[in-house]
Amino acid sequence: MYDLLGTLSLIEVSSFVAAPTIGLYCAQFGADVIRVDQIGGGQDFHRLPVNERGDSFSWENLNRAKRSVALDLTRSEGRELLVRLCQDVGTLATNLPPRGFLAHEKLEAGRLDMISVRVMGWPDGAIALDYTVNAGVGYPALTGHGDEPVNHSLPAWDFITGAYGAFALLAAVQRRAATGLGGEVRLPLTDIAMGTVANLGRVAEVVHTGQDRPRLGNAVYGTIGRDFVTADGARVMIVAINERQWQGLVRALDLSSAVAGLEAAFGVSLSGDDGVRFRHRDAIFAVLEKAIAAITHAELVERLDVEGVTHGPYNTLPQAMQDERLFTANPLFTMSNNNPSGLAYPAAGAIATIPQMERTPAVPAPHIGQHTEQVLAERLKLPAGEIARLVDTGIAGIAP
Amino acid sequence: MYDLLGTLSLIEVSSFVAAPTIGLYCAQFGADVIRVDQIGGGQDFHRLPVNERGDSFSWENLNRAKRSVALDLTRSEGRELLVRLCQDVGTLATNLPPRGFLAHEKLEAGRLDMISVRVMGWPDGAIALDYTVNAGVGYPALTGHGDEPVNHSLPAWDFITGAYGAFALLAAVQRRAATGLGGEVRLPLTDIAMGTVANLGRVAEVVHTGQDRPRLGNAVYGTIGRDFVTADGARVMIVAINERQWQGLVRALDLSSAVAGLEAAFGVSLSGDDGVRFRHRDAIFAVLEKAIAAITHAELVERLDVEGVTHGPYNTLPQAMQDERLFTANPLFTMSNNNPSGLAYPAAGAIATIPQMERTPAVPAPHIGQHTEQVLAERLKLPAGEIARLVDTGIAGIAP
């Protein structure tokens, strides 16, 4: 946690991963993020993984450092309070549909410089999720070793969308500060994904070659990188990402004569152009495989480190959680005790490091409705009696 | 492209994917992004995919809408000019090492409120790349169907880091505007990855269960989602992400009696809790497989759309590029003619949609050194004779 955004307030009405991430990143940088949920929690409040009580570990980590207001959004009085909160705060992040009761035009009618950032499926409002979008832009067709499509397990498009959404939100806030103008920033997952494919040069590549690139298994496109197994059975990802690292890899594994042999066999130079190396990757991989299978992981690490070649072991998550630099001695993580689930564990703060500022510990997620009374009093100036009436009639909910 | 950040100027000294993405996102929102490269281009200037001349399609798409200054950074005079440019502009995005000639302390010595955003491998300055980081935090161990780790082919950590870097940059700029203070924001890929794993609740899950989650093949964790094949051989990703969609899926495929059978067989209710459905996913998938294998893709789509269940086909990228909503009729893409590669193709602008603003077309990447003279005159106020001397002596480079 770093206090960079202490002047920003944000209403978040969200579920799943992408939209909550927008608020999470802002909250971890010190913004006042007020999450508004249906009383009892929304559709992702019990999303797996959960404890025995059904408290969601994903919900409580995606919603750290936010405040929580609970309203009955099935009733018009609850929805109207949420609209007033949005208009008072002036900035909203949501994944609710563009034509619903939080439509930008409705909010804007009561707050001229309203900013809404809206995570969507398709631009036309049709539904889509990370998993369907990923299948649609072609990554499963390139993943894995066989002929069948393989889904990746990281919801990458959700996180790219969440991070980009946080960026777009601050850009819109900066424009509002300069011009007084608000607006709605729509972020369809399909556009984020197809735009990212294009940004990687892959649309141009298909226009140029007329076809998709080949499926590469665990190899990295465009350079020399793949997984290898050492004499003692460790699997290591090695990438010689530039000329210097390629030369280092050849020295590290004492392969200069083997590489000279490949150069003679194929009539090419393997120095100076990683495109040439990539085209001859199968032969190079065979040479690397043999050399790496002959030495231990410890010896491999020592040799690659001397030469500055990029490498890293394959871990399971429990193994990663034994690693000092990744986790056990990483200042990014601080013990979090007061989580809604009751479980104590190391939690991540802001995923940046700012040497000039004090890093403060991760803050727990709220209980649903924990800040309802506080926020209604503070933002809507509701008198205590009116708040009590809203709670008594079930329009507003408070934490048990 | 949208003009949200017209008041922001940024020096970018970068290579590969994450750091150029920071500048790309800012440039597509109207910031003046001045990319400084070694004369002739840096280590990623010919990165695959390339045309026959070696012009990189990834470079020219990750560097759209930026200006280009070329300097001889192997000579101290070139490096000194770059330091002066950084200090004049006051904001830098880079993936150069924290202890090199663009160390934040050195820049700050000449510009008190300097902001540097630095993409790194490990927090201690050790090298790491998307591919090694991904192996290290455990995603390949969960990906695919077999026992072997499977790397995903999307450089997801690079894009998450790039988008988060753009967000962190704007947060730091906002703090500077409010307080006058600068600072360095460090973004180690390892922290971005391990922090994201934690944000998904997976660290808490491992603390709670003592073990990693199982490998799920193409199934989605925590709900009912997987790929299925229709009678006419189409592969479709289907996700019933909430209770409403689950009920819709049962209706769409006329499965109420089959589901009742499963409920009787297992002694559970499959309504109301997607955790219960997820635990019985194998039986549910078997029922879904059979129902979907009996109907055509067209029929499946019609039935799922009526019920509002999330689905999408598996495409290759060339197939995605035939899709109207993804690509051929998507206003995100505009024909880009004046690319450094000479190839004309539809290019992506900012990956957001702002209905209240005019969307302007994608702008090509610069030629290396195209803006050297302009930027040296404009930012460092160098006289024409001095600029000519720098070009003549090879300290500065201009586009051919």
Chain A contact for B9 (CB, 8 A cutoff) = no
Q: Would an 8 Å CB–CB cutoff place B301 in contact with chain A?
A: no
Could you say which residues from 145 to 164 on chain A have a Cβ atom under 8 Å away from some Cβ of chain B?
145, 148-156, 159-160, 163-164
CA-based torsion, B143, B145, B147, B151: positive or negative: negative
C-alpha radius of gyration, chain B, whole number: 26
User: Are A318 and B212 within 8 A, CB to CB?
Assistant: yes
CA atoms of B395 and A347, how far apart (whole Å): 48
Instruction: Count how many Cα atoms sit within 13 Å of the Cα of residue B319 in the half-sphere of its side chain.
Output: 12
pLDDT (average), residues A365-387: 98
From B95's Cα to the closest Cα of chain A, the distance in A is 14
Please, which pLDDT band fits residue B319 given cuts at 50, 70 and 90?
very high
pLDDT of residue A204 exceeding 90: yes
A295 lies within 8 A of chain B by CB? no
Closest C-alpha to A395, from A374, A367, A378, A376? A376
Cβ proximity of A42 and A185 under 8 Å: no
Range of the domain at B263: 224-314
Q: Using a CB-CB distance cutoff of 8 angstroms, which residues of chain A are in contact with residue B48?
A: 221-223, 274-275, 278
Do B375 and B228 belong to one domain? Answer: no
Same domain for A293 and A339, yes or no, is no
Q: What is the DSSP letter of B353?
A: B
Q: Write the CATH number for A100.
A: 3.40.50.10540
Decide if A150 and B143 are in contact by the 8 Å CB cutoff. Answer: yes
Pairing of strands A67-71, A91-94: unpaired
Structural domain contains residue B360: yes
Cα–Cα distances (Å) from A69 to A39, A42, A61, A398, B380, in that order, read 8, 12, 17, 8, 52
For residue A262 the two structure tokens come to 């490949």
CB contact under 8 A, A320 and B137: yes
Same domain, A306 and A338: no
Encode pLDDT of A212-268 as tens digits.
999 999 999 999 999 999 999 999 999 999 999 999 999 999 999 999 999 999 999
Confidence tier at B84 by pLDDT (50, 70, 90):
very high
In a domain, B203, yes or no: no
pLDDT tens string B341-375? 999 999 999 999 999 999 999 999 999 999 999 99
Q: Is the per-residue pLDDT at B400 higher than 90?
A: no
Mean pLDDT, residues B65-77 taken together: 98
Backbone angles phi, psi at A183, to 5 degrees: 155, 170
Over the stretch A261-298, which tens digit does the pLDDT of each residue have?
Answer: 999 999 999 999 999 999 999 999 999 999 999 999 99
Let me know: does B66 contact B34? Beta carbons within 8 Å.
yes
Q: Do A327 and B194 lie within an 8 Å CB cutoff?
A: yes
- Whichever domain contains B275, its CATH number is 3.30.1540.10
Is the same domain home to A237 and A369? no
What's the gap in Å between the CA of B392 and the closest CA on chain A? 27
Residue A185 CB-density burial (10 A; 0-12 exposed, 13-18 middle, 19+ buried): buried
> Coil, strand or helix: which one is A346?
strand
Give the span between the Cα atoms of B299 and B296, in whole angstroms: 5
In chain A, which residue's Cα lies nearest the Cα of B141? A316
Strands (E), B124-234: 183-188, 224-229
Q: What confidence tens digit (pLDDT) does each residue in A34-58 have?
A: 999 999 999 999 999 999 999 999 9
| Active-site option among B44, B158, B274, B282 | B158
The answer, for A221 touching chain B at a CB cutoff of 8 Å, is yes
The first and second tokens of residue A164, run together, are 């980009």
- Tell if the CB–CB gap between A48 and B144 is shorter than 8 Å: no
Facing residue for A316 by CB, picked from B141, B152, B323: B141
Q: Which residues of B touch A47 (CB under 8 A)?
A: 222-223, 274
Cβ-based contacts of B324 with chain A (< 8 Å) = none
Helices B372-380/B76-89 angle, 10° precision: 60
Reply yes or no on whether the pLDDT at A27 is more than 90: yes
Nearest-Å Rg of the Cα atoms of chain A is 26
Q: Can you name the residues that pair with A119 across neighbouring β-strands?
A: A187
- Measure the CA–CA gap between B329 and B50, rounded to whole angstroms: 26
Residues A137, A25 share a domain: yes
- Same domain flag for B293 and B383: no
Identify which of A49, A170, A178 has the shortest CB distance to residue B170: A170
pTM (predicted TM-score) = 0.98
Residue B367 is predicted with a pLDDT of: 98
Instruction: Give catalytic status of residue A158 as yes or no.
Output: yes
* Closest residue in chain A to residue B312, using alpha carbons only: A132
User: Is residue B149 situated within a structural domain?
Assistant: yes
pLDDT of A214: 94
Q: Does B186 contact A at CB distance below 8 Å?
A: yes
A390 within a domain of the structure (yes/no): yes
Q: Give chain B's mean pLDDT.
A: 97
pLDDT at A400 over 90: no
Reduce the DSSP state of residue A70 to 3 states and report it. strand
Min distance B260 CA to chain A CA atoms (Å): 24
Residue B154 CB neighbours (<10 A): 25
Other beta carbons less than 10 A from residue B283's beta carbon = 17
* Each residue's pLDDT tens digit, B167-226: 999 999 999 999 999 999 999 999 999 999 999 999 999 999 999 999 999 999 999 999
B388 lies in some domain: yes
- Looking at residue A391, what DSSP letter applies? H
Residue range B288-293: average pLDDT?
Answer: 98
The verdict on residue A309 lying in a domain is yes
ipTM > 0.90, yes or no? yes
Q: Identify the H or E element spanning A277.
A: helix A274-279
Could you report the per-residue pLDDT of A302-359, keeping only the tens digit for each? 999 999 999 999 999 999 999 999 999 999 999 999 999 999 999 999 999 999 999 9
Contact yes or no for A205 and B57 at CB 8 A: yes
B181 with B248, same domain: the answer is no
Same domain, B285 and B342: no
How high does pLDDT run on average in chain A? Answer: 97
CB contact under 8 A, B152 and A143: yes
B206 inside domain: no
Same domain, B177 and B240: no
Are both B142 and B291 inside the same structural domain?
no
Q: Mean pLDDT over residues B286-290, rounded?
A: 98
Name which of A45, A137, A239 to mutate to probe chain B: the one with the most chain B Cβ atoms within 10 A of its Cβ.
Answer: A137
Pull the structure tokens for residue A289.
Answer: 């495989």
B314–A135: do the CB atoms touch at under 8 Å?
yes
Residue B288 and residue B245 in contact, taking contact as beta carbons nearer than 8 Å:
no
User: Looking at B191-314, which runs of residues are DSSP E strands?
Assistant: 224-229, 235-240, 310-313
Query: For tokens 């990370």, what's the residue?
Result: A130
Touching check for A196 and chain B: CB below 8 Å? yes
Residues A18 and A161 both lie in one domain: yes
CB-based contact (8 Å) between A240 and chain B? no
Residue A136 lies in a domain: yes
**Cross-chain residue pair A212–B348, CB shorter than 8 Å:** no
pLDDT of residue A179: 96
Restricting to B residues 358-397, those with a Cβ less than 8 Å away from any Cβ of A are none
Q: Are residues A307 and A342 in the same domain?
A: no
Cβ atoms of B47 and B56 within 8 Å: the answer is yes
Instruction: Quote the number of domains for chain A.
Output: 2
